[in-house]
C-alpha cells in the first residue's frame, strides 16, 4: 500500500455490505470536489456544496442525466478533514446496487478504488493521527464492550501516545548527552550520571508494559471454556450468560457434539465463552469422540475454565478426571442445579483454590454472583479502564518489552561505567522501539501490515 500515490483521488463504500437505510461513499483527494459536482445535482439549482454542511440533491449520470438516487452530500475541505485532504461523503440509500452504481460513476470520472485502511493511512501520513491513534480506529470499530470502546477512544485521543512520547523524549535527552560526550570529547563536557533518567524511563516503560496484561483482555476478550461431564448444564449456563437460547438444551446426555463459541459482556469484559461437548471416557460414537477431542483442545487453549458439576449429586469419577485435565489453569467451580436440592459438599482437594459457586442455570439463581466472581478473577479487583493510559495492542506490548530490555541494558552499562558507545547503542534501540509505537520509526512493511487489517472505506 505504501507504494501507492497519496496524491490521487480515492473512493470507497464506507458502510458494511448488505442493505440498510443509509449507505455512505467516501471520496478523498484533490479531485474529490470536482468529481462530486459532476454527479451531484442540488435540489436548489443555484446551490453548491458548502463546506461542512449537508446538501440535499440527486446523484445523476453525467451523460444521460439519469437519476441514480437521492442523497445528502457533505464537503469537508482539507486540511480540516479526516485525511487532511478534500473529502466528500455521499449519504445515499443503503441498497448495494445503488451504492455500487454511484461508486462506479466516481471511478469512471478519475478516482480509483481505495485499498483497505487507505483513508486512515492518509490521515497518518498527513499528520492528523500517529500510528497508535490510527490503530485505535480499528479498535473502536471492533470493540466488543463499552469498556473496550472507552479504552480505544482514550488511545484515539492520544493518551498512550503522550505517555510514550514523554518517555521517548527522556531517552532522547540521554542519548543526545552521551553522543555529545563522544563527539566533542575535547570540549570538556561535564560528566553527569545518566542512571537516574534511565531508571525513570525504565520504570515508566515497565508500567505501560504491565498494563497490557489487562488492556488486552478488554481488546481481545478472555477465552473461557465451559467444561464438565455430559448433562451437568454446560449449555444451559452458556444460554444464561448470553441471556438467550444459543445452545440446544435437552435432558439427553451428549446433546452438544461440538464446541460452540459466543462472546458475552461480563462487567465490561468480553468473555469468549466456549461451550464444549461433555467429556467422558467412553464416547457413544465417532462424532462424539471428535467433539470430546475438541473439548480437550478448547480447555487447553482457554485462559479460564468454568467447570460445571451437578451440584445436586455427589461427585463422580468423570468429575475428578475433568478436574485433573483443568490442572493449574485459573478456574471456577460452578455447582449447578441447586434448584433441585442443596449443593452437595465438595472436598477441598477437588480443584483446590477454585471458588465454589452454587447456582441454577435454569432459574438464574446465583448467576450474578458467578459473573461478579469472574470479573474479580480476571481483574484482580482492579478498576481497569481509567484516565491512565493502558496498552491493549500486542504489538505495542512487544515494543515496550523491547524498549525495557534495551533501557535495562543501558542502565547496567552506565552503572558499570562501560564505554559510552555501548550505552548509546542500547538507548538508541530503546528510542527506536518506542518510535515504532507512534510511527516515527515504522517501516513501510509494518505500515502495510497494520493498515491491511482495516476494512475498505476506512
Task: Give tens-digit pLDDT for 219-271.
Answer: 878 888 888 888 888 888 888 888 766 544 445 444 444 467 888 888 878 88
Q: How confident is the model at residue 188, as a pLDDT?
A: 57
Global pTM value: 0.78
For residue 167, pLDDT over 50 is answered with yes
Q: How confident is the model at residue 7, as a pLDDT?
A: 85
Higher pLDDT, 111 or 379: 111
Worst-scoring range by mean pLDDT, 124-133, 268-277, 358-367?
268-277
For residue 447, pLDDT over 90 is answered with no
Phi, psi of 59 (to 5 degrees): -95, 120
Task: Give tens-digit pLDDT for 382-429.
Answer: 555 555 678 889 999 999 999 999 999 999 988 888 888 888 999 999
Q: Are 184 and 178 in contact (CB under 8 A)?
A: no
Provide the pairing of β-strand 269-275 with 260-266: antiparallel
Q: If residue 71 lies in a helix (H) or strand (E), which one and from where to where?
A: strand 67-76
* 379 confidence band (pLDDT: 50, 70, 90): confident
Q: How confident is the model at residue 257, as a pLDDT?
A: 43
Q: How confident is the model at residue 46, as a pLDDT?
A: 74
Q: How confident is the model at residue 429, as a pLDDT?
A: 95
For residue 290, pLDDT over 60 is answered with yes
Q: If residue 274 lies in a helix (H) or strand (E), which one and from where to where?
A: strand 269-275
d(CA 147, CA 434): 26
Phi, psi of 16 (to 5 degrees): -65, 155
| Domains by residue range for the chain, with CATH | 10-128 (3.30.1360.120), 140-209+394-451 (1.20.120.430), 221-379 (3.40.50.300)
Average pLDDT, the chain: 85
Mean pLDDT: which of 170-184, 187-201, 266-280 is highest?
170-184
Phi, psi of 262 (to 5 degrees): -145, 155
Q: How confident is the model at residue 187, as a pLDDT?
A: 56
Amino acid at each position: 500500500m505504501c507504494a501507492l500515490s497519496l496524491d490521487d483521488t480515492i473512493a470507497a463504500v464506507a458502510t458494511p455490505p448488505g442493505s440498510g437505510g443509509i449507505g455512505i461513499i467516501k471520496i478523498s483527494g484533490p479531485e474529490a470536489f470536482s468529481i462530486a459536482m459532476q454527479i451531484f445535482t442540488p435540489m436548489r439549482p443555484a446551490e453548491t456544496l458548502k463546506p461542512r454542511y449537508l446538501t440535499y440533491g440527486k446523484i445523476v449520470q453525467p451523460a444521460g442525466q439519469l437519476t441514480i438516487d437521492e442523497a445528502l452530500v457533505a464537503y469537508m475541505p482539507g486540511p480540516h478533514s479526516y485525511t487532511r485532504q478534500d473529502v466528500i461523503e455521499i449519504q445515499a440509500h443503503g441498497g448495494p446496487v445503488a451504492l455500487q452504481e454511484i461508486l462506479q460513476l466516481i471511478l469512471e470520472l478519475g478516482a480509483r478504488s481505495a485499498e483497505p485502511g487507505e483513508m486512515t493511512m492518509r490521515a497518518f501520513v498527513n499528520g492528523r493521527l500517529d500510528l497508535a491513534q490510527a490503530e485505535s480506529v480499528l479498535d473502536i470499530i471492533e470493540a466488543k464492550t463499552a469498556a473496550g470502546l472507552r479504552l480505544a477512544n482514550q488511545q484515539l485521543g492520544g493518551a498512550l501516545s503522550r505517555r510514550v512520547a514523554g518517555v521517548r523524549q527522556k531517552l532522547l535527552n540521554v542519548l543526545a548527552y552521551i553522543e555529545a560526550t563522544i563527539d566533542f570529547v575535547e570540549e570538556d563536557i561535564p560528566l553527569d550520571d545518566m542512571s537516574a533518567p534511565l531508571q525513570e524511563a525504565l520504570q515508566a516503560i515497565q508500567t505501560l508494559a504491565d498494563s497490557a496484561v489487562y488492556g488486552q483482555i478488554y481488546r481481545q476478550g478472555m477465552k473461557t471454556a465451559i467444561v464438565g461431564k455430559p448433562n451437568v448444564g454446560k449449555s444451559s449456563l452458556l444460554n444464561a450468560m448470553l441471556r438467550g437460547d444459543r445452545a440446544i438444551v435437552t435432558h439427553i446426555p451428549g446433546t452438544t457434539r461440538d464446541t460452540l463459541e459466543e462472546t458475552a459482556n461480563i462487567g465490561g469484559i468480553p468473555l469468549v465463552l466456549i461451550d464444549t461437548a461433555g467429556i467422558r471416557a467412553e464416547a457413544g460414537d465417532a462424532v462424539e469422540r471428535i467433539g470430546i477431542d475438541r473439548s480437550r483442545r478448547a480447555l487447553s487453549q482457554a485462559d479460564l475454565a468454568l467447570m460445571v458439576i451437578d451440584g445436586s449429586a455427589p461427585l463422580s469419577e468423570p468429575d475428578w478426571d475433568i478436574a485433573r485435565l483443568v490442572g493449574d489453569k485459573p478456574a471456577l467451580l460452578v455447582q449447578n442445579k441447586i434448584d433441585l436440592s442443596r449443593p452437595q459438599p465438595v472436598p477441598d482437594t477437588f480443584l483446590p483454590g477454585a471458588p465454589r459457586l452454587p447456582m441454577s442455570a435454569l432459574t438464574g439463581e446465583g448467576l450474578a454472583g458467578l459473573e461478579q466472581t469472574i470479573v474479580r478473577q480476571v481483574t484482580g479487583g482492579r478498576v481497569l479502564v481509567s484516565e491512565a493510559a493502558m496498552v491493549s495492542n500486542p504489538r505495542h506490548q512487544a515494543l515496550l518489552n523491547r524498549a525495557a530490555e534495551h533501557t535495562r541494558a543501558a542502565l547496567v552499562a552506565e552503572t558499570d561505567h562501560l564505554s559510552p558507545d555501548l550505552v548509546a547503542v542500547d538507548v538508541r534501540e530503546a528510542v527506536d522501539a518506542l518510535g515504532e509505537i507512534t510511527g516515527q520509526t515504522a517501516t513501510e512493511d509494518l505500515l502495510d501490515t497494520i493498515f491491511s487489517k482495516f476494512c475498505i472505506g476506512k
